[in-house]
Structure 1
Amino acid sequence: MDFSPTTAIVTGADSGIGRAIAVALAEAGADVGITWHQDQEGAQGTAREVEGRGARAVVSQLDTTDLGSCPATVESLVKELGGVDVFVNCAGTGDGTPFLDLDLATWQTTVDTNLTGAFLCMQRAAKFMVDKGAGGRIIAVTSVHETQPRVGASAYDASKHALGGLVKTMALELGAHGITVNSVAPGEIATAMTGNEDVDPHTVERPGIPLGRPGDAREIAAVVAFLASKAASYVTGASWPVDGGMLLMGPQAGSHLEGHDWRSA
């Protein structure tokens, strides 16, 4: 319980869930490294929000399909921050391509972004934590599709299933070093990725979700911030669905569908 994080890195923090996580960790007292892929202006906006909470922000570009650059980017951020106590992998993508239409290049881009690049970044962060010898927190933002599939998302589902499995193995191996490793699995969240950026999720009706609405990015960030804190010292190897009850609806939704619209993405 003496773990007190002062430095954090959040990949994919230029908008949406990543931005909310960076701000939440800053509010918890951590300086934050922020990565962006294409939206540098968005990353600078996140940095201003982090600094507005009294924390220091460091910004760097990260393309997780450029596998050779992933460890070096983490190293650079760690050097600028002076360490890394918390590493949050939030960078990700989806392609929405049906299995029979999925080409190798699209498959590779999705898997490299969501899985292989994540592996390289988390491994480098973990090595820094082990060398420091003071424990740490690693959190991967996965998806409800870490455990349940979606039509038209073969590569995405495969990468998120695999990332969830990687997290569990990391938890087994890194526990001896005082490092906890968990995943947070969002359902539908009101972000640009779901077409609801800057929309109050309480105004969007979702009858198929028990809570009746999409989630807010800050609701994901709150769970990540808990897992990054000393209060979560005995939590590791777990997947935390933050989905308004969406995963509970599998058999229920299946028995109540009246058409075949679900067969198309």
Structure 2
Amino acid sequence: MSHPRLAVVTGSDSGIGAATASLLAAEGYDLGLTFHHDEESLLETVQAVEQRGQRCFVEPYDASSTRAGDVVDSLAERLGGLGVVVNVAGTGHNDRALDLSYDRWRQVLATDLDGPFLVAQRAAQRMVDAGEGGRIVNVTSVHEHVPRYGSAAYCAAKAGLGGLTKVMALELAEHGITVNAVAPGEIATEMTGTPEADAYRTDRPGNPTGRPGHVDEVASVIGFLCSPRAAYVTGASYVVDGGLMLMAAHGHDLQSQEWRTV
């Protein structure tokens, strides 16, 4: 089943979302893009899409809103259909569980789990009704799989999104819709505080590759999962971390208590 080359990518104003939008445009997709606050940066993504000869539509999007799914309907109507949704928009925090306020907990859970659920649900409803199959890709994190000190809400949300991905994969397979997760490690983005341009020259001794990842390296995996080549891949979580998770057994080699800081 060949799904339409019409895609919605949330969080397209920078980082992984912008890189994904550019890659999908290069592969012949028309795009619906969202931004939360940085509309100026989004215009650079729009320009990159249009330079590749593809149509591009833009909508503001608040992933923490109970109406987050409405952006799917708006963009799908403007695109004339929907074949792919990529949930990229998200947030993080640095608070120990003992210090984490309930309001902050709810804000992170709403942004990183509730919003992607509403978007994926609305997209799936449209794809099922159209009967042409589709692709849903949720960008989680290595912290879908392993904990991080000072990130209780973030880890809970990403683990929850990973579980949601598997359930939706089970339920939607009969409709020709695949649902997968991509779990990045440290990627050079505004969110991690490392400029994208410095991805290949920033030293990370604790990572087997010795550096953070580049957004294009994550986008390439997302692009594969969106493509017809991945028609038999569903319910999977692709870790893109340069081997970072393989280092767990080396924790006993740490020489300081600095990991206890947030």
Identity %: 52
Alignment of 1:150-229 (within 5 A): 150-229=148-227
Cα deviation code 1:125-154 (max 9, x no counterpart): 000000010110000000000000100100
Give the letter for the 1:150 counterpart.
R
Q: CA deviation at 1:199?
A: 2.4
Aligned twin of 2:246: 248
Q: CA deviation at 1:197?
A: 2.0
Aligned twin of 2:60: 61
SS at 1:203 equivalent: coil
Q: Superposition RMSD on alpha carbons, in Å?
A: 0.9
Contact 2:63 2:111 in 1 (8 A): yes
Contact 1:5 1:229 in 2 (8 A): no
Name the CA distance, whole Å, in 1 between partners of 2:122 and 2:44.
26
Q: CA deviation at 1:64?
A: 1.2
Between 32-41 and 2-11, report the one with greater CA deviation.
Answer: 2-11
Aligned twin of 1:83: 81
Name the CA distance, whole Å, in 1 between partners of 2:2 and 2:241.
29
Give the letter for the 1:119 counterpart.
F
Contact 2:199 2:211 in 1 (8 A): yes
TM-score scaled by length of structure 1: 0.97
- Select which of 136, 139, 142 maps to 2:140: 142
Contact 1:44 1:59 in 2 (8 A): no
Q: CA deviation at 1:47?
A: 0.8
Any gaps of 5 or more consecutive residues in structure 1?
Answer: none
SS at 1:134 equivalent: coil
Cα deviation code 1:19-78 (max 9, x no counterpart): 0001111111000110011111111221111111111111000001111x2122110000
Q: CA deviation at 1:98?
A: 1.2
Instruction: Provide closer, same or farther for how the CA distance between residues 4 and 131 of structure 1 changes in structure 2, counting only shifts above 3 A.
Output: closer
Aligned twin of 1:20: 19
Contact 1:190 1:197 in 2 (8 A): yes
Give the letter for the 2:232 counterpart.
Y
Name the CA distance, whole Å, in 2 between partners of 1:168 and 1:63.
24
Any gaps of 5 or more consecutive residues in structure 2?
Answer: none
Kindly indicate whether residue 118 of structure 2 is the aligned counterpart of residue 120 of structure 1: yes
Q: How many residues align?
A: 262
SS at 2:216 equivalent: helix
Cα deviation code 1:82-117 (max 9, x no counterpart): 111000000100011111110011001100000011
TM-score scaled by length of structure 2: 0.98
Q: CA deviation at 1:4?
A: 4.9
Name the CA distance, whole Å, in 2 between partners of 1:92 and 1:72.
17
Cα deviation code 1:128-183 (max 9, x no counterpart): 00001011000000000000010010000000000000000000000010000000
Kindly indicate whether residue 124 of structure 2 is the aligned counterpart of residue 129 of structure 1: no
Contact 2:3 2:132 in 1 (8 A): no
Kindly indicate whether residue 35 of structure 2 is the aligned counterpart of residue 33 of structure 1: no
